[in-house]
Structure 1
Amino acid sequence: MSSKKEAVVSLHVQHDNAGDDHGDVFGNEEHHDIKYKTMSWQLVAILMLAEIVSNGMLSLPSSLATVGLVPGVILIVFLGIFATYTSIILVRFKLRHPKVHNMSDAGGILFGPVGRELFAFGTMLFAILLAGGQMLSGQIALSAISDNAICNVSFAGIFCAATFICSLPRTFGRMGWISIPSVICISVAAVVGMVGAGVHPVAGRSVVAARSSSFSTAFFSITNPVFAYCGHFMFFSLMSEMRNPKDGIKAAYTLQSVATTYYAVFAAVTYAFIGSNVASPSFSSLAPTWRKAAYGIALPNLLIAGALYSHTASKVLFLRIFRRSRHLHDHTWLGWTVWVGLIAVINVAAFLLAVGVPIFNYLIGIAASLFAAWFTYGIAGMFFLYDAYHDGQGARSWWRQPLQTALAIFTVLAGLFICVAGIYVTILAIVDAYADGSIVGPFSCG
């Protein structure tokens, strides 16, 4: 029976890999000018940390302020474990399907042309919005450091230009080396933030073990930790540029263990010293000197994270245009012109959305609910069910692995719940924001 199953798996993998240098998305790079498959698992882990830590960490203390210290920390740890499980499934799916470069390719395998285009749209939209979010974070940081020296839109424009430059390398390997100081900076900034909160705690602060609130308020708040682990949509692209993709599992374990630990400690300590009025991002609640120091040290990470998002969105289109073309691997005028043009368009789009859409932060929440809920959580269950079905004996393979099948189904349902509930509470939050007048106009300096 074991030999028969191995033969079925072998036939399936051979079929999936047919027609393209053992199925690898970048093929044989021995004689190419631009080599993509250069990264170690350690460098991939660094890139992953650079991408998600600042994006999620600074909003977590405000979530604890809504639900309380104990349930907040438990949720962060649980979601970290859950994200580790889904990371493992994504890594295994990539290893079974080497031609998968991004979620668009995976959507094509699961759902055909419709899935391919839907997942391509979701990947690009989410990456562009996250890049815009980093530009706003950079705007907040520069404004805090300079005591609002110039209009906020100008700060966002400065950050957009810097993000464009950092996005230009054609490979993640090149970006990996500038991500190392990025991770160091955000790690040090977090320590500075915690020390600053401890040195100047808020007098009369309210810190509670658990807090009751309405479903919409609680769930809207916990979307911060839910989407703090939203980097999964980049996993396939990063693994495609590894020397040994099998080591992707080591990068995933490193990412989730470090991120979860840092998230829990930073959120708990910051909330404990600042209390229920902690802002999001939390550095804004620090005393002026500590606030400037924390933001100043974190700036490189805010910049590199945005560049990674812009790079990811651009590469989805670049691969769509030049896959199996010499322009992908050679230094050609056409290849570089298209690449630079895509980077410019993506960054400008992110900037215009960030400063021109009054409900931009809520728009990120909607996009995260629509796509990140699936890319990070729900789709992993689909990957397992698909591979178990096709690599084994159809539906029988599911029944022979009842625990794993049940967990995969739970993962799909969890993704569905996060998606629907996230959209619902975000729309309610938008209605409330307009009602209380907290929505500012487009291109506002305030």
Structure 2
Amino acid sequence: MSMLPGPMAITAPTEQMREKGLEEDEIRKMSMSATHPGVRQRLWGAQARLDPTVSYEEFTFWAKVEREMEMEEGRRMKALTSGQGVMGAIKGYFNLNAYEDDKTKNDTSRSLQTHEEVTQWSKDEKTPVIKDDDGTSPIAPSGTHDIDAEWRQASRALRTATWGGIFYLITTDILGWGQTPYVFANTGYGLGVGIFILMGIAAGVSGWMIWRTFLGLDSSRFPVLSFGDPFFRLFGPGARHFINFTQALQMFLTVAVVLLGQTQLIAQLGESVDLCYIVCGIIAVVVSIASGYMRSLKHLGWFCNLSVWINVVSFIIICVAAAKYGPDPTAAVNNGILPKSWATNPVPVKTFVGTPPAEYQQTDANLFAAKFNGINSMVYAYSGALLFVAFLSEMRQPLDFWKAVFLAQAFITVVYVFFGAFAYSYYGQYSYATITQTVKPLSLQVLSNVLSLLTGWLAVFLYFNVGMKTVYIEVGQEIFNAPPITTRKGKWLWWGLGPVYWIIAFIVAMSVPEFSAFTNFVGGLFSLNFTYSFSGVMYLGYAIQEGARLPGEGFDPYTGQTIRHDTGISRWTRGFMKNWYITIPVTIFTGAGFAASGMGTWAAVLALESAYGPGGSLTTSWTCTNPFSS
């Protein structure tokens, strides 16, 4: 049954009429004392999304209303752009200006309407009164604080992204293409192609599950803005704190991973002067600290666009250089377990359809562990799902997100498989995790490394910005009452804590001797779970909550009360069994994600042990020895 109103409007209930002229505090006191159990006066928007007094049923009630409004807005937009030919329709679909211009021609009261009979203003209350199909249950006739047209218009104005724009953002995840030949060096052609396709499909499924959960929980009143928000609404504040802590830790370790990669690139660029390795690390962290003084991402929009073209140029350079000149084995040999003599007297390139034998493995002689190291790198390349909630929160029509996620994952998978197999065919066992360090001749290697440095520093800043903001807002502000980041005091505190964050990440990065094994550890323990396991947990919780509903339960917009007949394990069991055709496959998917995470983390730990142990790469970053100098 539609949540949108019928053709007739009704007057506000007597309880709301008594509220007219009262202050908000007086209304709140009446509600708390049960004198008037009417709709509670709340904050709306970002400040209200974590209100503990809002029930799951209320979140989903307004989410359903929001989706129906968006569908009607989409129909109006389609009508405005019809009759313009194929190119006109395409242009109109990706351009919101025509629709927005039409909306602004109407007065504020009309800006909220979803069809002719949906909303009409109550003359005495100045409130848009909405009714259900049967003429009962108005959605929220409680004064100007409910479904306020101007407020919603302002809220919706912040959501301007189209699915085409989100497709572009997701495909920036193609930055992972540089690791794909290394995956094939661990797994061989057969397993490499198969797992790339399987993981690509699974990443699309994860995006779909995040999308479905978002649609069921998000509204303009109670927006979903971060990965932890759905967990708060489904499982409570403890689950949200765990997700936020884990996300911040992943971002921190990712910063350390990229710092280590930047250090290696600088070291290879400075090999001709035997530049001290720890100096290379200091250069990397100093540049990173300087970029960290920017608190906003908006100034980097042009560089994000530029980075895509930088990657296209690098892609072409590496393909041409690989086919014409073959590999430089130095990076793969000196930073792994391949025989050290191969750095100066390399054996011929060799490729394998099946898993390469131990003597051709870069990180671990244990073939089972080696295969999982490759899978970890594969997952690391697909690990964009962590940002999907943020992307959805910016969309004007989040119902269209599925188009972006499936097209983007298909495109990324094709590029990954092609480039990985192509470069592996010419580089073989020397396909290092940072593929630009395998390029020959030296001139093209220098150019590729410089381009990789530029895009790498962008990644460092992005991960720092997201990770540091998560720590500052969720820990600093919420637990330690730090000043808001937008204030003067908050700005100075941000600037003071930023270098501390970088220095700790620098210490972690410089303590790891093997870049690919460290990358695989982060990928196995964190990226794999955020890409596959946690999205499964999120959707499983949503499916169970929806299946547990009993007749007569739900949110009453008249009184602001939630009716629920039972709680506890019996409710969760009923929800699981009622939607068994959803919950059982999702449970298997989620369990497979956690199992893969456990095995992948174990494989990465074994690789780190091999790097630290006898015969391993003992080139720790705390020495001055440049591993690329002869």
TM-score range, shorter chain: 0.7 to 0.9
Of residues 275, 279, 296, the one that matches 1:154 is 279
Query: Greater CA radius of gyration, 1 or 2?
Result: 2
Whether the 8 Å contact between 1:127 and 1:309 is mirrored in structure 2 is yes
Deviations 1:140-198 (A, max 9, x none): 22333343543233333333333344445444444333211112111221221111101
1:120 pairs with 2:244: yes
1:308 pairs with 2:433: no
Give the deviation of 1:278 after TM superposition.
Answer: 2.1
Tell me which residue corresponds to 2:131. Answer: none
Give the deviation of 1:364 after TM superposition.
Answer: 4.4
Change (3 A) 1:370 1:437: closer
Instruction: Kindly report which structure 2 residues correspond to 1:89-168, keeping only aligned pairs within 5 A, or say none.
Output: 89-98=209-218, 99-147=223-271, 149=273, 150-168=275-293
Of residues 582, 585, 591, the one that matches 1:413 is 591
Tell me which residue corresponds to 2:305. Answer: 180
Give the deviation of 1:234 after TM superposition.
Answer: 2.6
Percent of pairs with identical residues: 23
What TM-score, normalized by structure 1, do the two folds share?
0.83
Give the deviation of 1:122 after TM superposition.
Answer: 1.4
Tell me which residue corresponds to 1:13. Answer: 60
1:195 pairs with 2:320: yes
1:59 pairs with 2:179: yes
Change (3 A) 1:345 1:104: farther
**In 1: Cα distance, 2:168 partner to 2:498 partner:** 22
1:280 pairs with 2:280: no
Amino acid at match of 1:102: S
Whether the 8 Å contact between 1:172 and 1:241 is mirrored in structure 2 is no
Whether the 8 Å contact between 1:90 and 1:235 is mirrored in structure 2 is yes
Amino acid at match of 1:336: K
Change (3 A) 1:338 1:48: farther
Instruction: Kindly report which structure 2 residues correspond to 1:16-415, keeping only aligned pairs within 5 A, or say none.
Output: 39=161, 41-50=163-172, 52-54=173-175, 56-98=176-218, 99-147=223-271, 149=273, 150-201=275-326, 204-211=348-355, 214-242=367-395, 245-287=398-440, 288-320=442-474, 321=476, 332-358=487-513, 362-393=517-548, 398-399=576-577, 401-415=579-593
SS in 1 for 2:352: coil
Whether the 8 Å contact between 1:128 and 1:350 is mirrored in structure 2 is yes
Give the deviation of 1:432 after TM superposition.
Answer: 2.2
Deviations 1:236-257 (A, max 9, x none): 2344445555554444335423
Change (3 A) 1:188 1:247: farther
Give the deviation of 1:120 after TM superposition.
Answer: 2.0
Whether the 8 Å contact between 1:93 and 1:383 is mirrored in structure 2 is yes
Change (3 A) 1:379 1:326: closer
Instruction: Kindly report which structure 2 residues correspond to 1:404-443, keeping only aligned pairs within 5 A, or say none.
Output: 404-433=582-611, 434-443=613-622
Amino acid at match of 1:292: V
Change (3 A) 1:14 1:403: closer
Change (3 A) 1:227 1:114: same
Deviations 1:9-47 (A, max 9, x none): 9745148899xx999xxx98959xxx9756555554444
**In 2: Cα distance, 1:385 partner to 1:104 partner:** 15
Whether the 8 Å contact between 1:132 and 1:350 is mirrored in structure 2 is yes
Change (3 A) 1:15 1:326: farther
Whether the 8 Å contact between 2:373 and 2:517 is mirrored in structure 1 is no
Change (3 A) 1:208 1:158: same
Change (3 A) 1:234 1:265: same
**In 2: Cα distance, 1:172 partner to 1:39 partner:** 16
Whether the 8 Å contact between 2:186 and 2:373 is mirrored in structure 1 is no
Show structure 2 runs of 5+ residues with no match: 4-54, 67-139, 328-346, 358-366, 550-572
Runs of 4+ in structure 1 displaced over 6 angstroms? 15-18
**In 2: Cα distance, 1:246 partner to 1:174 partner:** 29
Deviations 1:269-296 (A, max 9, x none): 1001112232222222221222222222
- Aligned-residue CA RMSD (Å): 3.6
Change (3 A) 1:417 1:148: farther
Deviates most, 102-111 or 420-429: 102-111
Whether the 8 Å contact between 1:380 and 1:411 is mirrored in structure 2 is no
SS in 1 for 2:236: helix
Deviates most, 282-291 or 262-271: 282-291
> 1 or 2 for the larger relative contact order (CA 8 Å, sep ≥6)?
1
Tell me which residue corresponds to 2:137. Answer: none
Amino acid at match of 1:86: S
Deviations 1:181-234 (A, max 9, x none): 112111221221111101113694212222366322222222211222122223
**In 2: Cα distance, 1:223 partner to 1:280 partner:** 12
**In 2: Cα distance, 1:387 partner to 1:279 partner:** 41
Whether the 8 Å contact between 1:173 and 1:241 is mirrored in structure 2 is no
**In 1: Cα distance, 2:302 partner to 2:483 partner:** 24
Change (3 A) 1:256 1:106: same
Deviations 1:90-113 (A, max 9, x none): 133233334443334344345434
Tell me which residue corresponds to 2:33. Answer: none
Amino acid at match of 2:174: V
Report the count of equivalent residues.
430
Change (3 A) 1:346 1:46: farther
Instruction: Considering fraction of residues, name the structure with more helix.
Output: 1
Change (3 A) 1:286 1:141: same
Whether the 8 Å contact between 1:190 and 1:294 is mirrored in structure 2 is no
Change (3 A) 1:419 1:351: same
Change (3 A) 1:403 1:167: farther
Change (3 A) 1:362 1:165: same
Change (3 A) 1:277 1:360: closer
**In 2: Cα distance, 1:40 partner to 1:339 partner:** 32
Show structure 1 runs of 5+ residues with no match: none
**In 1: Cα distance, 2:165 partner to 2:158 partner:** 13
SS in 2 for 1:211: coil
**In 2: Cα distance, 1:327 partner to 1:138 partner:** 33
SS in 2 for 1:73: helix
Change (3 A) 1:349 1:36: farther
Tell me which residue corresponds to 2:94. Answer: none
**In 2: Cα distance, 1:234 partner to 1:427 partner:** 27
